[in-house]
Structure 1
Amino acid sequence: MINFQNLDDGRTLAQAIVNTIPEPFIVLDDTFHVLAASASFYRTFKVDPEHTQGRLVYSLGDGQWDIPALRVLLETIIPEHAAMDGFEVEHDFPNVGRRIMLLNARQVIYEDSSSRTILLAFMDVTARRSIEREKELLLKQTEELLRQKDILLQEMQHRVANSLQIIASILLLKARAVLSEETRQHLKDAHQRVMSVAEVQRHLHASDGIDQIEVGSYLSTLCGSLASSMVGESQPISVKVMTDMGTIGSDTAVSLGLIVTELVINAVKYAFPNPKDDSLILVTYEIDEEDWKLTVSDNGVGKIAGETAGNKTGLGTAIVQALVKQLNAEFESVSGADGMKISITRATFTSHMPQAA
């Protein structure tokens, strides 16, 4: 403990301590008169000691410090709790302007006296609150822009879906009207591909515009829809999907969806010319960090036995290969008497998925 030879020495030290505090700081007596103020208080609020020390705090600045929130803090909160941190006051301070201050207050009670002292520190958070409000406003504006974007995206998807349906209907009508069987078949193939694009678009639309799509759910839903629309009762074909857990970007999902649609359609049309009890088309998708492998296999007749029919799928193969190139992947086709397997790979790794053939 420091022993002072006289009272003035103690006051000198106390004032030095107060002046060292970087935030505006004042010391009040139990009647709320200013006993001392820091140099930063005088600088911040542009007042001088002559018009501050010994004055009632509410009378500072010709009464402009008579702030209701400050009265609540000093006269109600501090007597009950002895301390308060982060008490926010927004006020038009004299000579300074409108400021937002955080007040920290402490009540000091002395053992040998019934009097008390209140320590009051100010922290200017005006700029911080302004930034927070700007961020909040920016967030609201961003949310509104995203909402508008979603509305426009939904409208665009709706228009695309309607346009595809119209194109598909026109192609089907033309196919029924032409006399040439070859032309009719080409129109039907074009109709089927337009419907495939519409199916991929419909499943992506069901993901609510999410940029990352869960691959297992996406391919399962897509293949389930293809199976229900193409597989007849006379030739039941099981279409199964097996995938690793993971997500893909919506742009990749479009290409993969079109590839899977084309390969599954071709397998349904050409792999099982004769009824077979265990007819199976298996779609697998494997993930190895940034790499992936998509495989569509069947246990049908393979390309050797179905080569004549397979020649009619030249356009489909060209579409698939173009999409594979777009994905920077590799295309591989293996066919035999026990079926066909087509793999799209953007990696080199050993497959752990089963195959239909």
Structure 2
Amino acid sequence: MKLDWNESLSEYETFMVLSLIVLSCVLTYYFHFVLGSGILFTHFYYIPIVLSAVWWKRKSLWVPFFLAGVLILTDWISPLQSDYVYDDIFRSIMFISVSLITILLSEKIEKSQTKLKTSEEMFRSVVESAIDGIITTNMLGEVVSVNESFQKMFQCSEEEVLGESVKKFIPHRLRDKYDEQMDQFRKTGEHKLVGTFESVGLRSNGQEFPFEISITNWEGDGEVFTTSIIRDITYRQSAEKTRAILSAIVESSAESIIGMDLKGNVLSWNNGAERTYGYNVKEVLGKSSSIIFPPGSDELSSILKTISDGEKIDHYETKRVTKTGELIDVSLTVSPINDRSGNIIGLSSMARDVTREKAAEEALARSEAQLSMITDNMADIICQASKDGAYVYVSPSVKSVIGFKPQELIGKSMFDQVHPDDRSRVTSCMQNALTKHITQSVQYRCMKADGSYVWLDTKGTPISDKDGLTSGFVCNSRDITQQKNAEDALRDSEEKYRTLIESAKDPISLYDENGIFLMSNKAGAHSMGKEPADLLGRSLRDFFPPEIATKQIELIREVIRTEDGLDVEMFVPYGKDQWFSTSLQPLYGPDNRIHSVQVISRDITDIKETQIKLEQALQDKEMLMKEIYHRVKNNLMVISSLLNLQSRYIKDEEARAIFKESQERAQSMAMIHERLYRSADLKHINFGDYIRKLANDLFRTYVADPSRIKLELDVEDVMIDINIAIPLGLMVNELISNSIKHAFPGESNGKIRVKFNENDNQCVLEVSDNGVGFPPDFKPEKADSLGLQLVNSLTQQIGGELELERDQGTDFRITFQQPEEN
């Protein structure tokens, strides 16, 4: 039976205690005063005292037994045992003293137990009411306790998890790592705060979710426990992803998005704002946004007041000022920003640069006005018709062409004015345009207001609605009555034309798209050993080898397809090898469609043979030029070698340096002739490639420590005429050599940069270094060194301009114009 000393006594227990007290008193009186017994039988009065103490202060089971032992001990040690009165007084004093001490201790124990109980209840209340899941495990990883939030989080009951391994809530892929950590923990025996980190949990239904966990270790009753506080961060991670996505959207938006506080200071500034206004985020963050408002404008104050009143400013157009001072048009929307309590803490401004749109609208308005003026005054008729041919719009020019006013035709069918004999052709043209969705042309007779007819040439273009479906046509009609009359006159002169064709000495033929002869003059027929009548209806394949006939038919079909003429040269091995210069032109019929191709050929065999001879002579010339370049290169290299050999016998260092410089100049010219020899173009070389090769050769020759001097090349591939390339190559050699030798004395470091580019036929060569530079009073045109004199002289030779800058080191810039090609 478990005793609970904090519970109150029942009525039965109270009765039993009182009965024992009374019985003890009676027995004590009887043995002590009636029988006069000794110590062991005369102290029954202690029993009610002990029971009273137990009844009064039932805080601990050891109190009454402790008091009884003390009283019995005093009986044995009391010096007044011969006198019972004094003996009882002594024992009473002892008893009162011990009782007082016991009562004080009992009260202190009671208060401690009350505080402990209150603390335990408070701890359990906090644990159970916590939003986060709380779990405690022992050293073996077995669950000792969990709170209600943990059970909800992992979808399990307390009975299902108590005594179970904590690995039940860890995904399988992470359990081995958990075991390793626990083994390490048991080996080291460290009892300390583990920390806070993010991990993954496993619910009872197998679903995984991310959480944040704080772990601490503590000891109790000689055993180490681990308490973990777990927080589900699924929503937080989702919110972070959403925030990152929204941030990316804002930053990548082409529109300007600015966040401000209620004083107009900039809190955020996206890339769109940077592109729109020209300021980067560091220049504006924390500063007033008034810098983008026009000077003297009170618009910012008005916006801040409107937002402070909780109102949103929808799209409206206004002006803003960019960093460069340019005034631009923007479409602006401003919205308040609220905190969680609904208080307005700032505003978000979204603006779109509509400067181009405004300009486009103004240009469109001007274009529409110009178009209206053009359509009002043009000779052609511009109209819009529905799919069935009903007029939707007709330009005012219709009055001058057919005598009707625009309002008299709108809503009526265009077929009302089409000649009955031409309606089928117009209908066919409309259907073809609808089917192929392409512009179609048709010629027909149109009735005027006075009942007469004029010929119109109409081009109709299908138009589509917003759904992409053809909704009608836009037509351009032109009065071609005079043209038709001219065609009639032309047909009258057809016989004359035929006479001219027949009398021509060049072969002239007409073919259809399949290469069938429709007509041939005598010269054409006789060139194939036939008469004109023998060719009619026959194919080119009947008279020419298959490959020649196929090529001719392909050219005929290309003319029909493109409706453009062709001029070609053809080799025809017919009887004897012949070359013909052939012109192919499309011929249109009455329906304005190509019905044949006219081919006029001229024998150019003699001319072609002469051309072949000239090309052969040109090739021979190129070979001769290559040989000349090769020999010049070899001679220059011989000169360079001789200078090198001669320099070995020169003791004076200055004289030897002069020989070395002359050797480099010869090598730079030899390099140009070598590249000309290897190039397909004998008059030009790729000077960018030449500079790269020459600069690197010089750098390797003179720079013993490449880590001390750096060489940077920024050269474009530009084709330079040989007459400029040689002096320009010498100048490059002199300037680079001069920088390498003199710009960095001793062990100083530096950089040499060579830049070469062309823009609009103007070339710029720049050689610079950040070395010691020239004296302030130095003038390159008055230099006494041979190298700079050579640079000045060669610059004048190519018609260039030499500039020298000495701000940071030395910068030579030579600008010259490429010669125009003949």
Partner SS, residue 303 of structure 1: coil
Alpha-carbon distance, 1:322 to partner: 0.9
The residue number in structure 2 matching 1:238 is: 710
Q: Deviations over 1:104-139 (max 9, x none)?
A: xxxxxxxxxxxxxxxxxx9884xx21xx32442233
Partner SS, residue 813 of structure 2: strand
The residue number in structure 2 matching 1:284 is: 755
Alpha-carbon distance, 1:343 to partner: 1.4
Do structure 1's residue 340 and structure 2's residue 810 form an aligned pair? yes
Aligned partners of 2:783 and 2:789 also within 8 Å? no
The residue number in structure 2 matching 1:352 is: none
Do structure 1's residue 180 and structure 2's residue 637 form an aligned pair? no
C-alpha change, 1:75 and 1:229, in structure 2 (3 Å) is same
The residue number in structure 2 matching 1:323 is: 794
The residue number in structure 2 matching 1:143 is: 615
Match of 1:21 among 486, 491, 498: 498
Aligned partners of 1:196 and 1:261 also within 8 Å? yes
Letter in structure 2 aligned against 1:24: E
Q: How large is the Cα RMSD of the aligned pairs?
A: 4.7
The alignment's TM-score, normalised by the length of structure 2, stands at 0.28
Letter in structure 1 aligned against 2:730: L
Q: How does 1:255-274 map to 2 (within 5 A)?
A: 255-274=727-746
Cα distance in structure 2, aligned partners of 1:240 and 1:134: 57
C-alpha change, 1:140 and 1:230, in structure 2 (3 Å) is farther
Q: Once the two structures are aligned, what percentage of the paired residues are identical?
A: 26
Cα distance in structure 1, aligned partners of 2:678 and 2:631: 15
The residue number in structure 2 matching 1:248 is: 720
Number of equivalent positions: 263
Q: Comparing both chains, which one has the higher relative contact order based on Cα–Cα distances under 8 Å and sequence gaps of 6 or more?
A: 1
Q: Deviations over 1:52-75 (max 9, x none)?
A: xxxxx9xxxxxx999479898569
Alpha-carbon distance, 1:151 to partner: 1.2
Alpha-carbon distance, 1:340 to partner: 0.9
Cα distance in structure 2, aligned partners of 1:180 and 1:227: 24
The alignment's TM-score, normalised by the length of structure 1, stands at 0.58
Structure 1: 5+ residue stretches without partners: 1-15, 26-37, 46-56, 58-63, 92-99, 103-121, 348-357
Q: How does 1:79-228 map to 2 (within 5 A)?
A: 125=601, 128-129=602-603, 132-228=604-700
Partner SS, residue 745 of structure 2: coil
Letter in structure 2 aligned against 1:297: S
Cα distance in structure 1, aligned partners of 2:633 and 2:494: 75
Letter in structure 1 aligned against 2:814: I
Cα distance in structure 2, aligned partners of 1:65 and 1:264: 69
Cα distance in structure 2, aligned partners of 1:66 and 1:331: 69
Cα distance in structure 1, aligned partners of 2:616 and 2:661: 43
Letter in structure 2 aligned against 1:147: Q
Deviates more, 1:138-147 or 1:149-158: 138-147
Alpha-carbon distance, 1:261 to partner: 1.3
Partner SS, residue 704 of structure 2: coil
Cα distance in structure 2, aligned partners of 1:66 and 1:146: 35
Alpha-carbon distance, 1:208 to partner: 3.4
Aligned partners of 2:634 and 2:670 also within 8 Å? no
Alpha-carbon distance, 1:19 to partner: 6.5
C-alpha change, 1:227 and 1:183, in structure 2 (3 Å) is closer
Partner SS, residue 219 of structure 1: helix
Cα distance in structure 2, aligned partners of 1:234 and 1:289: 36
C-alpha change, 1:69 and 1:233, in structure 2 (3 Å) is farther
Match of 1:298 among 769, 774, 790: 769
Partner SS, residue 179 of structure 1: coil
Q: Deviations over 1:64-106 (max 9, x none)?
A: 999479898569649x9xxx999x9989xxxxxxxx9x9xxxx
Cα distance in structure 1, aligned partners of 2:627 and 2:741: 34
